[in-house]
Amino acid sequence: MASRIQTPNPSPINNRSPHSRLSHPPAAATALICPGTAVSTKKPLVATPTVASKPVLAKKWREIQGADDWEDLVEPLNPLLRQEIVRYGEFVIASYEAFDLDPSSKRYLNCKYGKSTMFQETGMADCGYRITKYVYATPDIDIPSQLGTCRSHWIGYVAVSDDDEVKKLGRRDIVVSFRGTVTHTEWIANFMSSLTPARLDPNESRPNLKVESGFLSLYTSDDSNCKFSHGSCREQLLSEISRLLNKYKDEEISITLAGHSMGSSLALLLGYDLAELGLNRVGLNRTIPVTVYSYGGPRVGNLGFKERCEELGVKVLRVVNVNDPVTKLPGVFLNEKFRVLAERFELPWSCACYAHVGVELALDFFKMKNPACVHDIGTYVGLLKCPKMKKVKKDGVNLINKAREFVGQQNFGAWPWQDAAIQVGNLVQTLRI
């Protein structure tokens, strides 16, 4: 059941003391910041160890993975859950670290490292997992300059915990990590914001179960010109996860899907897909838990999609910043709140309303000098890692008005729709939101 929870001690992570505030601020304009602890997606990570909490986590992993919808764990935020949110967030940050954005590189728009060395190269050598497969996604967008070339880009990876980590975690954990939007075609896919029937299971006809068309396209499209990928993102993932489930079928297993921004949408689609197909069910009495850790994620589907995810037992923990505009998209107007009004007055649009899935852990941070921090995955994770807080004065600022002023200076009217999406993508990347 979805709920909105405010974390009791949020703080940003930049060394230059960024401004932030509580989600339920007192009358005085004060905020909490975290002094001297910087975490950036531009620096190698140091994997968060699980050794200190070994006895507790091995016994309580099902609750931490959302078996009871994180009841009594988010307010106040349970230290063990906090640790796991950070740990899975670091897997996502590693996917950004490893993504090659150098146009002169032979690995451009692919992973910079091999599977055996990626964790070491990104500072995650001690994470206790090994990568088993790289995953590629294809935006179903035709851009003239890219026709005939590989349109698939490295989007993340599948990893599995090693034997030593299994002892700490209490189970064999299969992790899928997704980065967020980076390329122009991915931004265009993000702008394809219309609801379409999911129809991932050909045996289940659910016309009222709809998801965002751009995310679905990214999940299901393939590219025969790409030498790295074989099949769609969906086909790659279902094949590899099925292989791992069969390999470890006699063990306790969990499936953990983590993603930031667009990546959280892919994580949720995968979680729904696995459960709808029944790939997480072993025999008649055993169900392998599927948990999604979403960081700064947008809405993915409508109310029918949300309800079906809940029926299937897909557990979703949404870590959001209340100032992050991405978490309010798509469906700025047609969303959960509008649906209540539409149903009350019997309006025909209630089934067309977007709806978030899962339990929400709401953070509240903002830095006036760097508004882009509101969506940065490093800020999300660093905020939760920060052990010490101090109060500071908070300067008043209206982020929405500033964004409107900035966008108002751009000339969108003269662009064709594809160029407009590319330019907006450039704008958002410049702002890093």
Residues acting as catalytic residues:
261, 324, 375
Q: Which amino acid is at 39?
A: V
Place of tokens 């089934």: 351
DSSP 335: S
Residue 138 and residue 398: Cα distance in Å, rounded?
A: 37
**Ramachandran region, residue 70 (left: φ > 0; alpha: ψ -120 to 50; beta: rest):** left
Separation CA 13–CA 172 (nearest Å): 32
Cα dihedral: 425, 271, 223, 301 (round 10): -50
Buried b (16+ CB within 10 A) or exposed e, 190-202: bbbbebebbebee
Which residue, 239, 249, 241, 238, is CA-closest to 286?
A: 249
Q: For the CA atoms of 106, 110, 115, 120, what is the dihedral angle to 10 degrees?
A: 90
Q: Could you tell me the CA-to-CA distances from 6 to 320, 321, 322, 374, 383 in Å, in that order?
A: 10, 10, 10, 16, 13
- Strand partners for 197: 210
Q: Which two tokens stand for residue 421?
A: 């999406």
Task: Tell the residue number behind the tokens 């990214």, with chain if given.
Answer: 218
